[in-house]
């Protein structure tokens, strides 16, 4: 597989547990945030996004929380499954332009059976 997981923080969880992946963003003016999942050898897949006028958004088994005061974003995955094993990274954007997205380095989620 690809080496994108090297040098990344790792979160190891048991199958069935809830996972919380954190991301600190840099620009206080950022108004749009995205979480991506990248499996080994594949391109990133969109998971969920949130705008700065919201604190929380829920999807299927995932919840994103945004704390603008401390510039912190988290992704919660409920009932983690082996298929959730991947690198997860956040992206921040401002001004509405996709070419201005700033991507984080990511966290490797390892789900133990």
Q: Rule CB under 8 A: which residues touch other proteins? A: 2-8, 32, 34, 41-46, 49, 89, 91, 93, 96-99, 101-106
Cβ at position 14, least distance to other proteins in Å: 26
CA distance 42 to 65: 26
Cβ at position 28, least distance to other proteins in Å: 18
Q: Are 36 and 46 in contact (CB under 8 A)?
A: yes
Tokens for 56?
């929380």
Q: Which is nearer to other proteins, 53 or 113 (CB)?
A: 53
Cβ at position 12, least distance to other proteins in Å: 18
């Amino acid at each position: 597989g690809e080496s994108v997981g090297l040098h990344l923080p790792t979160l190891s969880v048991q199958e069935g547990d809830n996972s919380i992946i954190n991301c600190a963003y840099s620009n206080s003016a950022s108004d749009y945030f995205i979480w991506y999942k990248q499996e080994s050898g594949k391109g990133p897949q969109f998971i969920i996004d949130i705008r700065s006028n919201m604190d929380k958004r829920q999807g299927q088994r995932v919840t994103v929380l945004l704390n603008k005061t401390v510039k912190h974003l988290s992704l919660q995955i409920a009932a983690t499954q082996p298929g959730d094993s991947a690198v997860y990274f956040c992206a921040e954007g401002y001004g509405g332009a996709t070419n201005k997205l700033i991507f984080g380095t990511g966290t490797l989620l390892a789900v133990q059976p």
